[in-house]
Amino acid sequence: MTAAEMLERLVGFATVSRDSNLDLIAYVEGYLDEHGIEHWRVESDDGKKANLLARIGPEVGGGVVLSGHTDVVPVDGQPWSTDPFTLVDKGDGKLYGRGTCDMKGFIACALAELPEWLKRGLDKPIYLALSYDEEVGCIGAPRMIERLMADHPRPAAVIVGEPTLMQPVVAHKGATNLRTTVTGRASHSSQIDQGVSAIHVAARLVTKIEDVMSELRAEGRVDEAFNVAHSSLHVGKIAGGTAINIMARECTFEWEIRHLPGDRVEELLGRVNDYAAELEAEMQRRAPETSIVTEALNLTVPALADDNNAQVLDLCRELLGEQPSGAVAYATEAGQFQRVGLPTVICGPGSIRQAHQPDEYIEIEQLAAGTRFMQALGRRLGQ
């Protein structure tokens, strides 16, 4: 089976993060069973989703982990010209479908090459680490990493196959998603002194969140390796109020912090929380029942630092030829692997510019480049 044929099968599973990925996992398990490969499910608490860990080759240390997520982002409201969950070749050198570049293309390259790895025989194992819910906060990967470290000999390197045009990436920002709820006191809008508008207070706090970025730049807290050179804070959703003539009792907004490897998310959140405490005290002088509450929507996805990665970076360059390394603003499970001491880089086929877009695609040449990488990896670890 070619990588394109495998990709066609994987794209056909509509593994949007809000839905189950178990049909895709079952398909991959069946494929692994056909080839006599050991594998292990690591399920979510509710059993509706699962990670899949597989080992090709001997049960010895020093192997390479190929990590990829099975979930994709929604297609709702996007102007697709084709069925998003049917792989389409329009004859323009591209393969269209949701997840083609982000990141079922990488998984397809690995699975398609698996029979050749078996024929060659491996001195060191290749692990396939397929996770769920990466797109909503890298939720699934930590328990899979825990299982890997507890039950298997220690790997030497991890390659996370996010789309990088097959160039190694050595650093990415961390990510934290948050929800802030401002509770005010409702009143008739003609009696402005009787109420506390949750919307007005929220607006001041939203402005502060943006101001923190200016503070960081002024303090020189930048890393030019990133195209956005500072930690970023962004409010993506806001809702509040019931009518134009009622002072809003509640306003809720959802926001994120994407922090540089050298920054601490706790310190950045602390700046916002300190200002929120000032606003809350001001509110409560007028109405004691008012409040501002911020809660995390996910565990912080740790940043990937350009550190302790010489061995895996050298491996990538050996397999790919000399390539420049870089940094990216998006978050992946790479920082979670690095946190347990595994040398980790990101490298995969396709471009992040196509990810999450309508008519998402991967160039056929990029899929071929991913295949050549998998072939070279087999030769490197083979007998």
95/92 Cα distance (integer angstroms): 8
Residue 115 is which amino acid? Answer: P
Neighbours of 325 (CB within 10 A): 19
Contact in structure between 20 and 49 (CB atoms under 8 Å): yes
> Which is it for strands 174-183 and 250-259: parallel, antiparallel or unpaired?
antiparallel
Q: 3-class DSSP state for residue 382?
A: strand
Of residues 234, 269, 240, the one with CA closest to residue 252:
240
Q: What are phi and psi of 38, to 5 degrees?
A: -70, 140
**R_g over Cα of the chain:** 23
The beta strands (E) that lie in the chain are given as 38-43, 50-56, 64-69, 88-89, 94-96, 126-131, 157-160, 169-172, 174-183, 232-240, 250-259, 291-296, 326-328, 344-346, 361-363
CB 240 within 8 A of CB 252: yes
Give DSSP secondary structure letters for 154-168.
PPSEEEE---STT--
Say whether 267 is catalytic.
no
Q: How far apart are CA 376 and CA 194, in angstroms?
A: 72
Q: Are strands 344-346 and 157-160 parallel, antiparallel or unpaired?
A: parallel
The catalytic position among 8, 113, 133, 134 is 134
- From 340, 363, 140, 183, select the one nearest 276 (Cα to Cα): 183
CB 370 within 8 Å of CB 166: yes
Reading the block at residue 339, the tokens are 């946190």
Indicate if 71 belongs to the active site.
Answer: yes
Q: Which helix (H) or strand (E) holds 352?
A: none
CB contact burial 286-295 (16+ within 10 A = b; e otherwise): ebeebebebe
Catalytic (active-site) positions = 71, 134
